């Protein structure tokens, strides 16, 4: 690499680049002024409002954040130079001044290598400090460049990348557009039609890649995705609060970001299942049970029906009624949701079939009933009474309550699918009403499943699912229903699986998500965690995910890890946290969920106020006490793990939880342990 870091005012390259920066800033201001000057004279109120919204949107996307420079890189090719930034910037004549990072011309910036320069002779990265261009770093590519001048492979990481990673954290997650690495870029720019599953070790950039892929797809397929939408699903609110600013900073504000709990929040969750009950309710066999409970309640017609039509009554014989019902039932049980006749539509269709039968009879007798008369016949009390008896309308929450509360109903639906002991596990006394039922999170997913059988669920054009290794089979189905014909980005790490389902490979999850043929792409270069810390955490891998490749860190720091046995937590904890809090960046004190009050008390007593991270609370402060169960997906400049043995002991997959916790630190990890460490971490 011919790195030319410099802050010397006299450097002609810096001077020229600063002039381009100033030009880009002026052009951006000009674009903003032009956007706000668009007049919408001569259009009606509705159009004016729409134009106003579009203009506000455009202004928002053009808003200059003084901390965000208009470009961060540059490519020099055959006589062509492009500056690459977060969005296009043009001059008054329409000439490009900055190219959007997602445009095809920007691709070589991310992909070019010494082996494959992609038409570039030079790649330049810029260093900024508070919006000021202070340095640059050149990599010379292409013919004649060897040795020192050759592009560093990702292993010899660029200084700009390392600085970007080590820049102290405060507040929400940042975008990585300036430094996306080639292996990440391949996933970001995968075609819209292609579903991808990223198996990525901790800190390899899965979440960042998934969010940048959403932004890339929205840019590249804006028209199509504006209609169908993009959905990002995260594990919990604390995680979403941390990541949800990334897409808006990339100019994408129209992405739905939610949790599985919110996605399936049709009933108020106010109770918790015992672990074995939650595990059973998340099992894919429950889908079969629910389907049977719904469709099995359809009765065989027992009698002819007299259908009133245009002043006369027509007898529809029971044999024909049976055929109608059987045909509709069959169409209702087609496995593909898009082909399936949903239950509610089936009921309406049945009523219509009776009315049409009567209409045919009248036509054969020389009459000519109108469409309106036929529709009226379908709504007649006689037809409605028949449908109520044979094909009753169902309410999803009511059906689930009945199933869980009535052993006879459950036995009918679960025969041959769930054993007696499993049925007994599911049973709970029937509450007085749907409104007062002690709904659990797993129940909510069951209710959502039934709702999906009753009516088609609206689907998105692309869905990004993060921490997907923890999804239950039933949760996978809930996400799949939101996918319709679209594609998926599945992000996760099997070694970080902490739910009762914890698959050994991705096949069941991908099948559950409705995309069994999705290719699994590994990411193993760890950007977040220093090598010393990663090596330490990786010692757990043989126990939690045998066979999974360990991540390698892009950087090392001999002072990054400290493991200290302590007799008592109070003194050492206060001392370590005070020391870390004196530096820049965020500090996370992670402990077993049950130990959170004790740890918060110890810190407060030492005059070190720390906010306690809660799923539905505000974002964490600079020093946060973090329950281990909420640590997934988060990161802190410094992490203190208090009593790892308690974290391991707290749950069946406690070692995996500890692996998650040990891999949250960007710069420093301090482990304070009163009890013995897990055997794999000893020595
Ligand atoms: N190319 C990159 N340039 C700069 N920073 C990066 C890059 N890739 C990843 N990072 C940083 O590394 C950290 C980890 O990224 P991210 O949270 O996306 O990883 P992850 O694989 O989802 O991790 P985990 O599984 O541990 O939650 C983030 O701070 C992210 O900004």
Does 663 contact ligand 1 (Cβ within 6 A)? yes
Instruction: Give the per-residue pLDDT at 154.
Output: 41
Query: What ipTM, to 2 d.p.?
Result: 0.98
Atom of ligand 1 nearest to the CA of 181: 1
Closest-lying ligand 1 atom to the alpha carbon of residue 493: 25
Residue 562 has pLDDT above 90, yes or no: yes
User: For all residues of the chain together, what is the average pLDDT?
Assistant: 89
Q: How far apart are the CA of 206 and the centre of ligand 1, in A?
A: 6
Q: What whole-number distance in Å separates Cα of residue 278 and Cα of residue 139?
A: 54
Q: Which residue has better confidence, 169 or 474? A: 474
266, 397 contact by CB (below 8 A): yes
Cα–Cα separations (whole angstroms), residue 617 to 233, 597, 620, 635? 19, 15, 8, 17
Reported as a pLDDT band with limits 50, 70 and 90, residue 64 is low
- 561-565 and 587-591: which strand pairing? unpaired
263 and 269 Cβ atoms separated by less than 8 Å: no
Q: Is the CB of 493 under 6 A from ligand 1?
A: yes
Q: Are 660 and 631 in contact (CB under 8 A)?
A: yes
Residue 509 near residue 218 (C-beta atoms within 8 A)? no
What is the position in ligand 1's atom list of the atom closest to the CA of 178? Answer: 3
Q: How many other β-carbons are positioned within 10 Å of the β-carbon of residue 409?
A: 16
CATH architecture of 531-681: 3-Layer(aba) Sandwich (3.40)
**175, 189, 208, 244: which to mutate for ligand 1, most atoms within 8 A of CB?**
208
For residues 110 and 180, is the Cβ–Cβ distance under 8 A?
yes
What is the chain's Cα-based Rg?
30
Beta partners for residue 198, in sequence order = 491, 521
Q: How far is the CA of 421 from the centre of ligand 1 (A)?
A: 44
Average of per-residue pLDDT across 306-330? 96
424 beta partners: none
**Residue 362 burial (CB count, 10 A):** 21
pLDDT of residue 174: 81
For 659, the token pair is 């692996």
| Cα angle: 426, vertex 458, 60; to 5 degrees | 120
Q: What is the per-residue pLDDT for 618?
A: 77
CB atoms within 10 A of CB 96: 15
Structure-token pair, residue 265: 């929040």
Whether pLDDT at 89 is above 50: yes
Average of per-residue pLDDT across 152-170: 67
Q: Could you give the residue ranges of the DSSP H alpha helices within 427-558?
A: 441-454, 473-481, 507-512, 531-538, 541-544
**Is 200 annotated as belonging to a binding site?**
yes
Q: Where are the domains of the chain?
A: 12-153, 298-390, 531-681
| Segment (H or E) for 129 | strand 120-129
Q: Which atom number of ligand 1 is nearest to the Cα of residue 165?
A: 5
Residues contacting residue 548 through CB under 8 Å, at least 6 positions apart = 199, 201, 494, 495, 541
203 is in an annotated binding site: yes
pLDDT at 669: 98
**pLDDT, tens digit, 9 for 90 and up, residues 567-607:** 999 999 999 999 999 988 899 999 999 999 999 999 999 99
The answer, yes or no, to whether residue 1 has pLDDT greater than 70, is no
Cβ 263 vs Cβ 457: under 8 Å: no
Helices 441-454 and 473-481 pack at an angle, to 10 degrees, of 40
> How far is residue 233's CA from residue 229's CA, in Å, rounded to a whole number?
13
pLDDT confidence band for 9 (50 / 70 / 90): low
Q: Is 179 in the pocket of ligand 1 (CB under 6 A)?
A: yes
d(CA 501, CA 474): 11
């Amino acid at each position: 690499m011919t790195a030319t870091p410099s802050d010397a005012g006299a450097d002609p390259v810096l001077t020229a680049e600063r002039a381009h920066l100033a030009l880009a800033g002026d052009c951006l201001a000009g674009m903003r002024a032009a956007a706000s000057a668009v007049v919408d004279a001569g259009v009606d109120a509705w159009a004016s409002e729409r134009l106003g919204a579009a203009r506000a949107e455009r202004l928002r996307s053009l808003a200059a954040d003084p901390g965000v420079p208009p470009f961060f890189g540059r490519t020099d090719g055959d006589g062509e130079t492009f500056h690459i930034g977060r969005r296009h910037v043009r001059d008054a004549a329409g000439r490009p001044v900055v190219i959007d990072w997602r445009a095809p011309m920007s691709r070589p910036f991310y992909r070019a290598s010494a082996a494959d320069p992609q038409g570039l002779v030079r790649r330049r990265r810029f260093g900024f400090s508070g919006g000021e261009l202070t340095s640059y770093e050149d990599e010379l590519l292409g013919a004649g460049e060897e040795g020192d001048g050759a592009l560093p492979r990702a292993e010899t990481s660029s200084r700009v990348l390392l600085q970007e990673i080590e820049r102290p954290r405060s507040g929400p997650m940042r975008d990585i557009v300036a430094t996306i690495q080639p292996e990440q870029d391949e996933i970001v720019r995968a075609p819209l039609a292609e579903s991808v599953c990223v198996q990525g070790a901790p800190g390899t950039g899965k979440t960042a890649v998934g969010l940048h892929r959403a932004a890339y797809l929205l840019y590249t397929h804006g028209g199509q995705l504006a209609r169908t939408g993009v959905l990002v699903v995260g594990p919990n609110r604390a995680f979403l609060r941390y990541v949800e600013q990334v897409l808006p900073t990339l100019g994408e504000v129209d992405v739905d970001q939610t949790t599985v709990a919110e996605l399936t929040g049709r009933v108020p969750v106010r109770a918790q299942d015992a672990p074995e009950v939650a595990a059973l309710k998340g099992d894919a066999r429950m889908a079969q049970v629910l389907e049977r409970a719904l469709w099995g309640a359809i009765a065989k017609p027992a009698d002819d029906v007299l259908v009133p039509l245009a002043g006369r009554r027509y007898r529809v014989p029971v044999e024909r009624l049976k055929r109608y019902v059987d045909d509709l039932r069959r169409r209702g049980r087609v496995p593909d949701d898009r082909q399936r006749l949903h239950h509610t539509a089936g009921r309406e269709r049945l009523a219509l079939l009776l009315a049409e039968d009567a209409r045919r009879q009248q036509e054969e007798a020389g009459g000519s009933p109108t469409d309106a008369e036929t529709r009226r016949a379908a709504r007649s009390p006689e037809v409605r009474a028949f449908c109520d008896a044979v094909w009753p309308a169902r309410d999803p929450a009511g059906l689930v309550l009945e199933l869980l509360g009535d052993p006879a109903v459950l036995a009918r639906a679960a025969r041959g699918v769930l054993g007696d002991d499993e049925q007994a596990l599911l049973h709970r006394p029937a509450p007085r009403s749907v409104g007062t039922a002690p709904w659990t999170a797993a129940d909510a997913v069951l209710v959502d499943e039934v709702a999906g059988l009753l009516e088609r669920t609206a689907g998105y054009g692309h869905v990004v699912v993060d921490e997907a290794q923890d999804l239950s089979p039933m949760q996978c189905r809930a996400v799949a229903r939101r996918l319709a014909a679209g594609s998926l980005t599945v992000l996760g790490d099997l070694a970080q699986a902490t739910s009762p389902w914890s698959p050994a490979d991705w096949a069941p999850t991908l099948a559950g998500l409705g995309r069994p043929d999705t290719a699994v792409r590994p990411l193993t270069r760890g950007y977040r965690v220093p090598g010393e810390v990663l090596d330490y955490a990786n010692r757990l891998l043989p126990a939690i995910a045998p066979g999974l490749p360990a991540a390698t860190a892009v950087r090392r720091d001999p002072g990054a890890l400290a493991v200290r046995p302590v007799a008592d937590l109070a003194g050492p904890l206060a001392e370590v946290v005070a020391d870390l809090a004196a530096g820049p960046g965020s500090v996370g004190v992670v402990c077993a969920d049950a130990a959170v009050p004790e740890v918060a008390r110890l810190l407060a007593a030492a005059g070190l106020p720390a906010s306690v991270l809660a799923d539905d609370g505000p974002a964490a402060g600079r020093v946060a006490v973090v329950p281990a169960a909420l640590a997934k997906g988060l990161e802190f400049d410094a992490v203190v793990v208090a009593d790892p043995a308690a974290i391991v002991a707290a749950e069946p997959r406690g070692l995996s939880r500890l692996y998650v916790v040990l891999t949250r630190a960007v710069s420093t990890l301090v482990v304070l342990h009163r009890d013995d460490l897990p055997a794999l971490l000893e020595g």
